[in-house]
Structure 1
Amino acid sequence: MVEGGWRSLTFSNRIDPDKFFCVYEISGGKCNDTSCERQHFRQIALSDDEILVELGSVMEGDTDDARNSYRDGLRELITDMRSRKINDFETVAAEISLYRSSFFNDTSRVVRLTKGP
């Protein structure tokens, strides 16, 4: 796992690859210029709920059958966690990630880093 865990900006889907980051923030400061048009770290951070939605909303698989199988298994996992009253952010994120890597039988595939179908 990366430094910062699930909250790491490494996993943020709000990063605009065509836009530069503010030089003040890159150098460790805080930009107070309200007219600054560059990206800022505060704009790309996701809340815990947003991270869980992202982790749970991706329907993996190359075919409709695979995507349906993935979705059904994920739904079962989430239902099980709810029935056991598991709602701790770290636990839920880890369980979704573990499900994803076990679905692919590949421990390196814990999150999707590219856009897909």
Structure 2
Amino acid sequence: MNAETELQTLIATMKPSLHAQPYVFCSIDEVVFARLPFIPLGTFHEPEGVTIIATREQASDSGLEFDMSWACVTLEVRSSLMAVGFLALITARLARTGISVKPVSAFQHDQLFVPW
């Protein structure tokens, strides 16, 4: 599998793709996590609890608390886990315009969560 590391190529071919539904971040305990009636888009286990990324509808239907809704933009370019500066360049530009971003990197692609 070829994943891109060259910064200029990553920027030129990132092909952002907006997901149709809003997402939320929730912090729940392990018991609640084990009983979720859906598979979250993303999870991360922290000492304070399990952070999940789920659609707003999934979280609401399950009675989970969340603060705000986020749009998910997937960067369709296959970025290498070893790529340097790709997300830094994007997040810095968003910061300059006052846009908060929560980047999430997966094996194939990067996702940017920005306020809905």
Q: Smaller-chain TM-score range?
A: under 0.3
More helix by share: 1
User: TM-score, normalization: structure 1?
Assistant: 0.28
Larger RCO: 1 or 2 (CA < 8 Å, sep 6+):
2
Structure of higher CA gyration radius: 1
Q: Name the structure with the higher strand share.
A: 2
User: Could you state the TM-score of these two structures normalised by the residue count of structure 2?
Assistant: 0.28
